[in-house]
Structure 1
Amino acid sequence: MRIHQYVSRPVFPGYLLYPESYGWYREEPEHREHRPPGQLPYYNLHFVFGGRGELVWKNRRYELAAGQGFLYAPDQEQRYGAVPDEPWDVRWVHFFGEGAAALLGDKGIGEPWVFALGDVSRCLALTDELLRFSESPDSSAEQRLSAKLYELLLAMLGASRPKAAGAPPDSRERILAAADAIRSRCEEPWTLARMAETADYSVYHFDRLFRGYIGKSPMRFLLESRIVRAKRLLITGRLSVGDIAAATGFSQSSYFIKRFKELEGLTPQQFREQRT
């Protein structure tokens, strides 16, 4: 079974993300693609939901099974296909837009980004919804099509595991639970060792996994959580800057002012005067 949906260019030119085409291959043992550099000017995203496939990059061969996927940035050389004796159930989307680079960073540039999903259910449901759109949606459907693609990419990024080999199956849930604890109790005296203990990891593994899932170091995440809490207090309360520093986990108001200005470009007092 091969399903191809080609989408007309949108009437409104300002969408940050928009699909060029999308589809679904299942029970196609001869499905193989080899595109030289420059042939496909779109991002190329694949999700594997069953069977097996493979991707070849230079002298490396990636075996792909259910719950995995890959992404190529535009104009990259591409070589992948089904394993003939157990062909994959794969859904794909080619897309473009000025917002793609900001969302995806350097993923798929220079070499394909191969990932595993901790939970495939959301991405499976979203590809189902995408496949239900008509080949040439009217202008009223363009917004929903763009939004659905954006939602799919966010779900993929949220569920994808770090590249590092050997990540435990429940590592994503443990790291996200630790991040929630840090954010909700950011005023407490967190150390990296205490954060790691919350997730039951060594400091080394916690720091590596946290950076992989959250995209920043644990201490940077703590700082940003404290600054967000401080911004709320500056706008909604009457506490002094010194009291807000203490209430958000900063032992010295001078250090609080310094870090606030680094992140916001204003001192806490300037922020308060500008926003109230």
Structure 2
Amino acid sequence: MHVLAAGRLVGGGGLPVGSVRRHPHWGFTFVTAGTGRYRDADHDEVVAAGTLVVVRPGRPHWYGPDGGGWDEVFAVFDGPVVEAADRAGRLGSTPLLRLPVQPWAQRLGVFAGRARPVDDGSRAAEGLRLLAMLVEAAGAAAPASAPGNDAGEGEGWLRRSCALLEADLAGTVDLRGVAARAEMPYETWRRRFRSATGSSPYAYRADARLRAATELLTHTPLAVREIAASTGFTDERHLIRRFREHTGVTPRAFRDGLMDRGGRTDRQCGVAWP
């Protein structure tokens, strides 16, 4: 398996509206900011920050942002080993998966900023690294939505709300704007969200920040202050206090415990390997 191309797009426009693409290779797009849609013969679904779109060769599809573009990390890849992994069901059953934005943008972004391998052995190793990451993502993620569901239908409003609350954790979110995207009055949305999740929207977003920080502590060599900044904490002390309240240990002690159990953080690529 080889990575044929990889990169980042800021304000990308997706595919032209009304067009259908049949890509000859495997690919993924991980949206890090913005919203849009994905369509194929079996799906018509919302795409939001944290959505991983897995494109299979030859499958007709279309996706693109709502307006103003979206930011994404992407890669194109190919090889018999990825076909075997897909036949074994290791890459998930749907083309869209929802993941925490910050840690997965960091991890998948490794391929966008890589130096291109110069020999077959290095190319194969890079391809297997990407495959292992996609298999992990498929196992960890939830489907972005059930086929045919959308905001305002069934539980589509909840999926969209969660995706928006988990997006851009380093920034701010307008809760009334999220309610509007769910097509509900604010107080109705807030009450229904608490009933469905057991948390207020504010508490849900705070928990998402902690989950993202934990992922970054586990899978990257970023300093605690950098993790705090990228996940929306006021400063390093704020993250340490909240992390200790939640886990009983400091972020540094948590990371040291992972190292003691045999894990290591690869400081070249920012990926944790067992």
- TM-score bracket, normalised by the shorter chain, equals 0.3 to 0.5
Q: Give the TM-score of the pair, scaled to structure 1.
A: 0.45
Larger radius of gyration between Structure 1 and Structure 2: 1
Higher relative contact order (CA 8 A, sep 6+): 2
